[in-house]
Amino acid sequence: MSQPGDFDAVRKDIIAVLKQPKYDDGSAGPVLVRLAWHASGTYCKETDTGGSNGAGMRYEAEGGDPANAGLQHARVFLEPIKEKHSWITYADLWTLAGVVAIQAMGGPEIQWKPGRTDFVDDSLLPPRGRLPDAAQAADHLRHIFYRMGFNDQEIVALSGAHNLGRCHADRSGFEGPWVNSPTRFSNQYYKLLLKLQWKPKKWDGNFQYAAKAPGADDDDEELMMLPTDYALIQDDKFRPWVQKYAEDRDLFFSDFAKVFAKLIELGVYRDETGIARADKMKKVPSEY
Ligand code: ZEM
């Protein structure tokens, strides 16, 4: 137990939970980052609905969305922390875990503010289909991310999160890591996108790109890119940002910190007490 509001105590316990020797590449970090992103990435600017407030993924309608497959692992990793610091809301914990994990994996410090509520009902839950589909291309990325209020530069910066973690065939139908060190935050993803010879992967699974890492031998795992990752170097407006972030790690880190902070604030409005109350949340219009 900790004093309500002692977020430093929660941060410490999140750091302690990151090391998971038997899980994936030894860290819970990447899947925690994905949890923060999927909690937030349902936001729709036009209807002002969705986003991290309400922690709707606790419910089947959102948590059971195939787009969220695998994120139960992230929620299970965090459950002991929620039990110990019962005053924190899930909505705050999930977003805080993302920013703490990014920094602990060598990424930038990201501004995080508390105040999200756990109240949600059916009329507030975002419909399925608001998260991006990796099998698509640049026009789809714009459709999805413009809806949240992001621009082309921000889409490329956010995609740099694919420096972390991996795809799991049993979760998304895609397989493999994007980079060699998937638990260390860096701008390697952009460098590899530009540098390697990406070829369609020869397998029965979903269409994706594959390449051997520089200096890899035959038993080394191949690296991968999703069609949406590859779209970033095919599109005239996205590609210059890939080049900038490949060349300038500091620019990427500072742009990523800004855009991730924006992502986890989408749809979160606080009153004068600092609490983002559910009665400020809008109902999802029936035609959506
Ligand atoms: Zn991801 N992402 N993502 N992403 N993502 C996966 C994994 C991870 C897309 C996508 O379809 C997928 C952002 C954007 C986009 C992370 C963070 C962020 C996987 C693999 C897929 C298929 C899931 C699996 O099989 O476990 C698409 C289409 C995106 C559009 C641009 C943004 C934005 C992110 C954060 C800012 C992370 C950290 C992972 C690795 C998860 C893990 O378990 O290792």
Are 28 and 80 in a shared domain?
yes
Q: List helix spans (H) across 136-287.
A: 138-148, 152-159, 169-172, 188-195, 227-234, 239-247, 249-263
Residue 215 maps to a domain: yes
* Number of the ligand 1 atom closest to the C-alpha atom of 30: 38
Domain range holding 85? 7-131+260-280
Are 111 and 248 in a shared domain?
no
- Cα of 255 vs centre of ligand 1, distance in Å, is 18
pLDDT at position 261: 98
Residues with CB under 6 A from ligand 1: 30-31, 33-34, 37, 70, 132, 134, 141, 158-159, 161-162, 164-168, 171-172, 174, 226, 228, 260
Number of structural domains the chain divides into: 2
- Of all protein residues, whose CA lies closest to atom 43 belonging to ligand 1? 31
- Go through the chain and tell me how many residues it has: 288
Are 185 and 70 in a shared domain?
no
> Average pLDDT of each block of 10 consecutive residues along the chain (288 residues)?
93 98 98 98 96 96 97 98 97 98 98 95 92 98 98 98 98 97 98 97 97 84 96 98 98 98 96 82 80
- Of all protein residues, whose CA lies closest to atom 6 belonging to ligand 1? 167
- Separation between Cα atoms, residue 184 and residue 71, nearest integer Å: 20
Are 124 and 73 in a shared domain?
yes
- Of all protein residues, whose CA lies closest to atom 40 belonging to ligand 1? 165
pLDDT at position 288: 58
Packing angle, helices 249-263 and 239-247, rounded to 10: 120
pLDDT at position 286: 76
Which among 37, 94, 112, 178 is annotated as catalytic? Answer: 178
Active site residue 112: no
pLDDT at position 40: 98
Minimal CA–CA distance to 39: which of 26, 28, 52, 29? 52
- Cα of 36 vs centre of ligand 1, distance in Å, is 11
Minimal CA–CA distance to 200: which of 187, 209, 190? 209
pLDDT at position 1: 74
pLDDT at position 118: 95
Are 266 and 243 in a shared domain?
no
Q: Interface pTM (ipTM) of the complex?
A: 0.99
In three-state secondary structure terms, 28 is coil
Are 125 and 154 in a shared domain?
no
pLDDT at position 287: 65
